[in-house]
Structure 1
Amino acid sequence: MEKRTVQYSKSIQTRLVLPPDTNHLDTIFGGKILAYIDEIAAVAAMKHSNSTVVTASIDSVDFVSSAKAGEALTLEASLTYTGTSSMEVYVRVTAHDMIHNIEKLTTESFLTMVAVDEDGNPVAVPGLRPETEEEIRLFETAPARRESRKNRSRTR
């Protein structure tokens, strides 16, 4: 299988934060952000693998700042590493106050997605070919994140 670039499957989605999406502080529910992150990670993984995918784990989520009603969220998902059937996906979420033209990072997350066939069995995925300095950095640091993920599952 030929390796694919990060750009091949990079996925971007913009969503407006509406009042029903917010809590009593007028900021978006964390669970709503998690659902958006899971969805965009799946889209990127499906584009890379040309396969159905399942979420194996949400490895880390860092809520850096909050987003308020009326702001636009931009979610960017990029593959950072691939295994035999698994794919690590990095998702970056920013909020844009369009009235004052202020943009801020709200959330960063790493997820592991697994490509599966129609019976739910893992299938092979193409390798990843990072090109930019940032893509190479994330690719080279992925094995340490994978080991950390394995260690977490061993302690259960």
Structure 2
Amino acid sequence: MKEAKHPKESLVVNTDQVMINDLNNYNTLFGGVLMKKLDNNATLSARRHARVKECVTASTDSIDFLYPIQQSDSVCVESYVSYVGNKSMEIFCKVIAEDMMTGERRMAATAFLTFVALDENKKPVKVPEIIPETEEEKFLYESGKERAERRRIRRKHSKTLTEIIGLEKPWNLGGEAS
């Protein structure tokens, strides 16, 4: 068993400016651009915690867009391991937008992603436990078991759904299959 770690040991902080090509038609940061930043940050947190070459995204539980990010803002993504299972890690991400003119900071988004650490044969490996210290870390850790259970239920539902939904090409429905 690997030695337990503190969430701050997996902390990754990345700050960027918002570029014009990152904007959507509302002149705010495009959600897909932010999702990529979240996945990149969370991957590094997972790898830092597990100390493995590869970690794969198992799920993106939620991304809550709380406040739009403007072009005049910087966007700071902070991520760390908030809860662990046997072979999976929940990564909590928070996104802080800062108005570069006024210095006003606001919580723009939060997200939970789940990663699995892989060995050199691409097999899942056990990950270290965590020891939360701050009020935020303790809150996330204590509520982590409930989120993990919701993920298990959702994954089971998704597997059932894949048995029901079809793989036919939409343009062939009602006609001959090719």
Task: Give the TM-score category using the shorter length.
Answer: over 0.9
| 1: CA distance, partners of 2:127 / 2:154 | 24
Alignment of 1:19 with 2:27, yes or no, is no
The C-alpha deviation readout for 1:21-44, integer Å capped at 9, x for no partner, is 001221111000000000100111
| 1: CA distance, partners of 2:20 / 2:117 | 35
Structure 1 segments unaligned to the other structure (5+ residues): none
**Residue type matched to 2:124 in 1?**
P
| 2: CA distance, partners of 1:48 / 1:56 | 16
Deviation, 1:55, is 0.3
Q: Which residue of 2 is the match for residue 90 of structure 1?
A: 92
Deviation, 1:77, is 0.3
Give RMSD over aligned pairs.
Answer: 1.0
Structure 1 counterpart of 2:129, from 121, 124, 127: 127
Q: Which residue of 1 is the match for residue 76 of structure 2?
A: 74
Deviation, 1:139, is 0.7
Q: Which residue of 1 is the match for residue 42 of structure 2?
A: 41
What SS is found at the alignment partner of 1:114? strand
Extract structure 1 runs of 4+ deviating beyond 4 A. none
**Residue type matched to 2:16 in 1?**
R
CA contact (8 A) 2:72 2:101 kept: no
The C-alpha deviation readout for 1:82-132, integer Å capped at 9, x for no partner, is 122210000000111111211111110001011002332101111111112
| 2: CA distance, partners of 1:117 / 1:15 | 32
Structure 2 segments unaligned to the other structure (5+ residues): 159-178
Higher relative contact order (CA 8 A, sep 6+): 1
Structure 2 counterpart of 1:139, from 123, 138, 141: 141
| 1: CA distance, partners of 2:39 / 2:126 | 21
Deviation, 1:154, is 1.8
CA contact (8 A) 2:66 2:109 kept: yes
TM-score for the superposition, normalised by structure 2: 0.85
| 2: CA distance, partners of 1:136 / 1:94 | 20
| 2: CA distance, partners of 1:123 / 1:108 | 27
Q: Which residue of 1 is the match for residue 56 of structure 2?
A: 54
TM-score for the superposition, normalised by structure 1: 0.96
Q: Which residue of 2 is the match for residue 64 of structure 1?
A: 66
| 1: CA distance, partners of 2:43 / 2:119 | 15
